[in-house]
Structure 1
Amino acid sequence: MRIGIVCPYSWDVPGGVQFHIRDLAGHLIALGHEVSVLAPADDDTPLPPYVVSAGRAVPVPYNGSVARLNFGFLSAARVRRWLHDGAFDVLHIHEPASPSLGLLACWAASGPIVATFHTSNPRSRAMIAAYPILQPALEKISARIAVSEYARRTLVEHLGGDAVVIPNGVDVDFFRSAEPKQEWQGGTIGFIGRIDEPRKGLPTLIRALPEILRRRPGTRLLVAGRGDEQEAVDGLDEQARGQVEFLGMVSDEDKARLLRSVDVYAAPNTGGESFGIILVEAMSAGAPVLASDLDAFRQVLDGGAAGELFPVEDADALADAAVRLLDDPERLARLRSLGSKHVRRFDWSTVGRDILAVYETVTDGAASVAADERTGLRARFGLARD
Structure 2
Amino acid sequence: MRIGIVCPYSWDVPGGVQFHIRDLADHLIRLGHEVSVLAPADDDTPLPPYVVSAGRAVPVPYNGSVARLNFGFLSAARVRRWLHEGTFDVIHIHEPASPSLGLLACWAAQGPIVATFHTSNPRSRAMIAAYPILQPALEKISARIAVSEYARRTLVEHLGGDAVVIPNGVDVDFFARAKPESHWQGDTLGFIGRIDEPRKGLPVLMKALPKILAERPQTRLLVAGRGDEEEAVASLPEELRSRVEFLGMVSDEDKARFLRSVDVYVAPNTGGESFGIILVEAMSAGAPVLASDLDAFAQVLDQGAAGELFANEDADALATAAVRLLADPARRAELRERGSAHVRRFDWSTVGADILGVYETVTEGAASVAADERIGLRARLGLARD
> Gapped runs of 5+ residues in structure 1?
none
Output aligned runs, 1:24-43, within 5 Å. 24-43=24-43
**d(CA) in 1 for partners of 2:381, 2:202:** 69
Residue 19 of structure 2 is aligned to residue 19 of structure 1: yes
2:67 match: secondary structure: strand
Q: Which residue of the partner structure matches residue 85 of structure 1?
A: 85
Report the counterpart of residue 265 of structure 1 in structure 2: 265
Aligned to 2:294: 294
Query: Which residue of 1 is the match for residue 117 of structure 2?
Result: 117
- Secondary structure of 1:140's counterpart equals coil
Distance across 2 between alignment mates of 1:153 and 1:206? 32
Report SS of the residue matched to 1:255. Answer: helix
Is 1:245 aligned with 2:277?
A: no
* Superposition pairs of residues 199-210 of structure 1, within 5 angstroms: 199-210=199-210
Does 1:195 pair with 2:195? yes
CA distance in 1, matches of 2:243, 2:385: 80
Does residue 126 (structure 1) correspond to residue 126 (structure 2)? The answer is yes
Distance 2:34 2:339 in 1: 34
Shift of 1:326: 0.8
- 1:73-124 deviation per Cα after TM superposition (whole angstroms, max 9, x unaligned): 0000000000000000000000000000000000001000000000000000
Distance in 2 between residues matched to 1:236 and 1:39, nearest whole Å = 39
Which deviations, in whole Å up to 9, do the C-alpha atoms of 1:229-251 show, x marking residues without a partner? Answer: 00100111233111100000000
Once the two structures are TM-superposed, the CA of residue 382 in structure 1 deviates from its matched residue by 1.2
Match of 2:223 in 1: 223
In the alignment, the residues of structure 2 paired with residue 71 and residue 3 of structure 1 have an alpha-carbon distance, to the nearest angstrom, of 22
- Equivalent residue, structure 2, for 1:254: 254
Question: What do you get for the CA RMSD once the two structures are aligned?
Answer: 0.5
**Amino acid across the alignment from 2:105:** A
**1:52 aligns to what?**
52
Deviations 1:238-271 (A, max 9, x none): 3311110000000000000000000000000000
1:240, 1:121 → 2: CA distance? Answer: 36
1:298-355 CA distance string (max 9 Å, x none): 0000011101000111000000000011111111000000000000000000000000
The letter of the residue matching 1:202 is L
Structure-1 separation of matches of 2:19 and 2:329: 33
SS of equivalent residue, structure 1 residue 189: strand
Residue 284 of structure 1 deviates from its aligned partner by 0.2
Counterpart amino acid of 2:358? Answer: V
In structure 2, what is the Cα distance between the partners aligned to 1:62 and 1:364?
36
SS in 2 for 1:242: helix
For 1:278, the aligned partner's letter is: I
Q: Which residue of 1 aligns with 2:139?
A: 139
Per-residue CA deviations over 1:190-248 (Å, capped at 9, x if unaligned) read: 00000000000000001111110110111000000000000100111233111100000
The AA in structure 2 aligned to 1:102 is G
Residue of structure 1 equivalent to 2:339? 339
Q: What letter matches 1:81 in structure 2?
A: R
Equivalence for 1:360: 360
TM-aligned CA deviation for residue 360 of structure 1: 0.1
Distance (Å, rounded) in 1 between the aligned partners of 2:270 and 2:385:
64
CA distance in 2, matches of 1:236, 1:61: 28
SS in 1 for 2:281: helix
Structure 2 residue matching 1:231: 3-state secondary structure: helix
TM-score (structure 1 length as normaliser): 1.00
Tell me which residue corresponds to 1:284.
284
1:68 aligns with 2:72: no
Segments of structure 2 that go 5 or more residues without pairing to the other structure are: none
Distance 2:9 2:131 in 1: 21
1:4 Cα offset (Å): 0.2
> What is aligned with 1:181?
181
Q: Which runs of 4 or more aligned residues in structure 1 lie more than 2 Å from their structure 2 counterparts after TM superposition?
A: none
Letter in structure 1 aligned against 2:138: L
Q: Which SS does the other structure have where 1:321 is aligned?
A: helix
Task: Report what 2:308 is aligned to.
Answer: 308
Residue type at the aligned position of 1:209:
L
Q: 1:284 corresponds to which letter in structure 2?
A: S
Distance 1:230 1:345 in 2: 39
Secondary structure of the residue aligned to 2:5 is strand
Which residue does 2:374 correspond to in 1?
Answer: 374
Q: Deviations over 1:125-157 (max 9, x none)?
A: 000000000000000000000000000000000
Distance 1:214 1:358 in 2: 52
Q: Secondary structure at the match of 1:309?
A: strand
The range that moved more, 238-247 or 116-125, is 238-247
**Residues 151-175 of structure 1: CA distance to partner in whole angstroms, max 9, x if unpaired?**
0000000000000000000000000
Mapped pair 1:5 → 2:5? yes
Q: CA deviation at 1:380?
A: 1.0
Q: Which SS does the other structure have where 1:178 is aligned? A: coil
Partners of 1:218 and 1:238 lie apart in 2 by 16
